[in-house]
Chains A and B, each alone.
Chain A
């Protein structure tokens, strides 16, 4: 029997597989091990579930609910803005130029975005000046680090609308004109055209956009740190605090594991619901 020759070509897979194995697989396994007491940086390493037990005493739920709330609200507001914006830009002259301009916030670092929004929402910022000038408020509103997270929400929307637009616009633009014309010939108005043609055809892209934005915001550190409420904050902030303020890397690893699990569960649920909705619409 002829011995099968080794295919050297498989070695070409090494860079990609190596990256996945080393930087994703190994990192996740290390984090999971750290969450149960192994890989201690400074002391003895041994199996322990104490960190998981203790996790639920470190305000984890408040931070989890806040992370979910800000991620869900910001993603939904973004998609609600992006659809009409895409349709408007699509029908505008020089649409490519407008699209390029609208993408600019995506390339601005999160910290700079925070400073920009601070100028708008600050105690003596533009919004309070306008509202005060119109006589709508007697005392300036506190919108930065406010307990409801208005500042963080506004910043997330400002930062993520262009990202979502990038995905949704190309999908909206690709809806064939003859399909829309056929709908019009059959007497459909603008709203019905959107509801029965554009939305079902672009639903997969919209889902991808919402899911990616959700994950980005759910894992956010910077914007919530600068603009978010004093308490609670995102899970990333809680993780950072446990690791760097209390030097408790094991609990930080538990939070990291739960962040990943929560994101996977939520994304799966959303995808399932989205697919059902898309089937119903089509």
Chain B
């Protein structure tokens, strides 16, 4: 599959694991990497260019840190502007139909927070309902999100493993060797799932 990574992070500090993941994606062959905040620092999104990018790829990856249970502001604006009526939805004009959407997210809260009875009281995938429904309305397949919890407090070894797993996941999807049918059985993907579902 032709892979497009749309990375959205408004505060790219060197210590951010999200930034390291982005760098890994940026370096990959056969993967188009876009830093939305670098392309549109004033939020003036080029709608035509973004729509052409979408049409030229089969898998769209939203890579972002979760802020207040949602995407960063620019990625929300991107959805508002790029997924136009007559392009992404509307009668006879679902130009994105058949494509796949993957969210690669990091959360500040722990796995325990994102559980019934936890501080956030709901598993993370439930907070992604708007994205899932957006994909559905556009006729896209919404893949289980690739999630890293406790992103600010992770040990070095684990973070390294997550970054590698992210690169492997993108490569496997690019090369069509990722078992999507089995993946759809899970509510979310972790770094362990990547190795398990890759069929090389």
Q: Do A and B come from one complex?
A: no
Which residues of B are in contact with A by a Cβ distance under 8 Å? Answer: none
Which residues of A are in contact with B by a Cβ distance under 8 Å? Answer: none
